């Protein structure tokens, strides 16, 4: 479930050890998650009521969706800070189209949002992969540009639930066997991206590029097109996120999703995806997204001042990367110990 970034052609023992570490990482997240849920449930049994679980799943769906795209980008040693702005642009665009053409079938409206996202992702990808602009600079720039476009289009107005067709809003709250549709969509995306990163050629290439771009270039990997793909997927998923955002909240203004990019990066980092590329899995990122959402929902139940939420998230990010570093040092030390065992 967690195997990713396995270095090729490493000695067997080392690979197995790395495997074990990555498993341990996901296991740690899972244990933390279960403990948190258990403690919160003991404090208030309504935390595990069907409605409360549905709320958590709904809230996770958006983060999860964007975290999938972000994982692809970060694994290839990039970052996409523009996702929240893309989500805002897509949410507002989709809502505007639906408000103007109430007869439009919902899937077609969703395509509008996806197309907006794909276009934004293409801009990012072209500038980064072919223009050789560092990802942090490029997506910081498009964070401003795309958000500015939303404000420009909206001009202070908002689209309220009353202007959107009933069918679209129903889709935002619809459930299958009690599970929200939005969450199912996010899980489907998660499985697809997970499979892509794990087995597909282009997915493996992203790990190679993230581990050592120069080596990947010398090995003949088509680096620009792979990076472009990662940013287009990230943008498209943010576009899909915008559609789901509009369907779920009904009311959309220019600030939709504002500041969300940090939550997404946090989820990915907490989920064990190395910020400088080459390792991590989308399932880890999913666990990270779930953990952050559960924390947000559990703190009020536990009677903790809600003002603590951000501080806890920040502390969690630091703890996660510090733990990763310590484990990595341990592994490196133990691998060295194997190589020159005669020293001991």
Partner 1 sequence: MSTENAARWPRLPRRLAGWDAAVVALTVLTLLVASGAVDEFGTTRNATFLILDLAPVLLLALPMTLIVVSGEIDLSVASTVGLTSALMGELWAGGLPLETIVPLAVLAGAVLGAFNGLLVTVLGLPSLAVTIGTLALYRGLAYVLLGDTAVADFARDYTRWANGSLGGGWVPNVVPPILLLVVAFALALHATPVGRAIFAMGANDTAAAFAGIPVERTKFLLYVVSGAVAGLVGVYWTLRYSTARADNAEGLELTVVAAVLLGGVSIYGGRGTLLGVVAGVVLLTSLQNALRLAKVSADALTVITGTLLILSVLLPNVSAALGARLRRRTPAPPPSPSPPTPAARTAVPLPEPTRRDGRP
User: Which positions touch partner 1 (CB under 8 A)?
Assistant: 77, 79, 127, 131-134, 136-138, 140-149, 151-152, 155, 213-214, 217, 259, 262, 265-266, 269, 274-276, 305, 307-315, 317-318, 321-322, 325-326, 332, 336
Nearer to partner 1, 35 or 136 (CB): 136
Pairing of strands 175-176, 179-180: antiparallel
Q: Minimum distance from CB of 188 to partner 1 (Å)?
A: 29
Longest Cα pair distance anywhere in the chain, in angstroms?
77
Q: Minimum distance from CB of 256 to partner 1 (Å)?
A: 15
Q: Minimum distance from CB of 23 to partner 1 (Å)?
A: 22
Q: Minimum distance from CB of 54 to partner 1 (Å)?
A: 27
User: Quick one: which of 334, 129, 142, 154 has its CA closest to 254?
Assistant: 154
Cα angle 199, 59, 136 (rounded to 5 degrees) comes to 60
Nearer to partner 1, 10 or 310 (CB): 310
d(CA 119, CA 121): 5
Q: Are 191 and 64 in contact (CB under 8 A)?
A: no
Nearer to partner 1, 46 or 217 (CB): 217
User: Quick one: which of 233, 21, 201, 263 has its CA closest to 120?
Assistant: 233
Q: Minimum distance from CB of 307 to partner 1 (Å)?
A: 4
d(CA 56, CA 231): 28
**Which residues, listed in sequence order, are joined to residue 175 by a DSSP beta bridge?**
180
Nearer to partner 1, 95 or 317 (CB): 317
Nearer to partner 1, 7 or 141 (CB): 141
d(CA 168, CA 244): 10
């Amino acid at each position: 479930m967690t195997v990713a970034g396995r270095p090729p052609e490493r000695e067997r023992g080392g690979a197995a050890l790395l495997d074990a570490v990555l498993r341990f990482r996901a296991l740690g997240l899972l244990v933390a998650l279960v403990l948190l849920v258990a403690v919160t449930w003991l404090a208030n049994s309504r935390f595990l009521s069907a409605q409360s679980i549905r709320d958590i799943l709904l809230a996770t769906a958006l983060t999860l969706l964007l975290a999938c795209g972000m994982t692809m980008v970060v694994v290839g040693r990039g970052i996409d800070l523009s996702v929240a702005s893309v989500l805002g642009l897509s949410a507002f665009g989709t809502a505007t189209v639906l408000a103007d053409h109430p007869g439009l079938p919902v899937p077609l409206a969703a395509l509008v949002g996806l197309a907006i996202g794909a276009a934004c992702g293409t801009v990012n990808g072209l500038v980064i992969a072919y223009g050789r602009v560092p990802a942090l600079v490029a997506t910081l720039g498009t964070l401003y540009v795309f958000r500015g476009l939303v404000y420009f289009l909206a001009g202070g107005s908002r689209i309220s639930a009353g202007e959107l067709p009933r069918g679209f809003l129903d889709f935002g709250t619809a459930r299958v066997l009690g599970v929200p549709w939005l969450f199912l969509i996010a899980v489907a995306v998660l499985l697809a991206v997970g499979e892509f990163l794990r087995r597909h050629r282009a997915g493996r290439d992203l790990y190679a590029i993230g581990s050592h771009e120069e080596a990947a270039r010398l090995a003949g990997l088509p680096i620009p097109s792979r990076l472009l793909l990662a940013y287009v997927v990230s943008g498209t998923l943010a576009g899909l996120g915008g559609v789901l955002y509009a369907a779920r909240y009904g009311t959309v203004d220019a600030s939709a999703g504002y500041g969300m990019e940090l939550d997404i990066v946090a989820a990915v980092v907490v989920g064990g995806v190395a910020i400088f590329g080459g390792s991590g899995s989308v399932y880890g990122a999913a666990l990270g997204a779930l953990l952050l959402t559960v924390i947000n929902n559990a703190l009020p139940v536990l009677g903790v001042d809600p003002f603590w939420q951000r501080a806890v998230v920040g502390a969690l990010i630091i703890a996660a990367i510090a733990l990763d570093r310590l484990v990595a040092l341990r592994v490196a030390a133990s691998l060295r110990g194997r190589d020159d065992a005669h020293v001991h």
